[in-house]
């Protein structure tokens, strides 16, 4: 189970500071299938160590919670998973910022059709923690139930974010 909140991050000085302090991981995210109940994607992760490939299925999203299954796959398996050509590829750089109570804030700096958009995501142990914890003041608008990466893959919805 993944319990996560997402925020629009518009403070450029915070983003610049994060880019200088934390290591970057490039993520290329393609969607194989998306409907109202299920999201299936593949990811290519590139960092200073090398490349990694992940297959993910998300189902039964309710509020800020979703069932999530992730599995590392081989490059050959990754290539064999055919993407839906009607979906947008999501390209982003991710920076991991440590936060209270052993949490982490994932900062996503988008490229391609979403160039200039930045998100901050925090994954929590449970929903109570998600709503009771003090959040950093530099986080922007809570967009948890407004937009998802899978919605961004289906349509160009940059207009919703600006």
* Domain containing residue 103: 2-160
Q: How many domains does the chain have?
A: 1
Flag whether the pTM goes above 0.85. yes
> What is the per-residue pLDDT for 40?
97
Per residue in 80-123, pLDDT (tens digit) is 999 999 999 999 999 999 998 789 999 999 999 999 999 999 99
What CATH number did the domain enclosing 93 receive?
2.40.320.10
> What is the per-residue pLDDT for 14?
95
Cβ–Cβ under 8 Å, residues 8 and 118: yes
Per residue in 53-90, pLDDT (tens digit) is 999 999 988 888 999 999 999 999 999 999 999 999 99
DSSP calls for 24-89: EEEEEEEEEEE-SSEEEEEEEEE-SS-EEEEEEEEEEEETTEEEEEEEEE-HHHHHHSPPPTTSPP
Per residue in 18-59, pLDDT (tens digit) is 999 999 999 999 999 999 899 999 999 999 999 999 999 999
Query: What secondary structure letter does DSSP report for 115?
Result: T
Per residue in 127-148, pLDDT (tens digit) is 999 999 999 999 999 999 888 8
Residue matched to tokens 């990466």: 149
């Amino acid at each position: 189970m993944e319990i996560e909140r997402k925020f629009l991050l518009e403070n450029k000085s915070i983003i610049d500071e994060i880019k200088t302090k934390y290591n970057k991981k490039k993520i290329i995210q393609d969607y194989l299938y998306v409907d109202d109940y299920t999201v299936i994607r593949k990811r290519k992760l590139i960092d200073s160590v090398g490349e990694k490939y992940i297959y993910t299925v998300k189902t039964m999203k309710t509020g800020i919670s979703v069932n999530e299954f992730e599995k590392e796959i081989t490059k050959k398996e990754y290539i064999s998973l055919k993407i839906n050509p009607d979906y947008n590829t999501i390209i982003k750089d991710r920076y991991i910022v440590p936060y209270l109570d052993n949490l982490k804030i994932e900062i996503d700096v988008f490229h391609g059709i979403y160039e200039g958009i930045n998100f901050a995501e925090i994954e929590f142990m449970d929903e109570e923690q998600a709503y009771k914890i003090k959040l950093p003041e530099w986080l922007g608008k809570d967009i948890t139930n407004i937009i998802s990466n899978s919605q961004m893959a289906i349509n160009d919805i940059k207009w919703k974010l600006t």
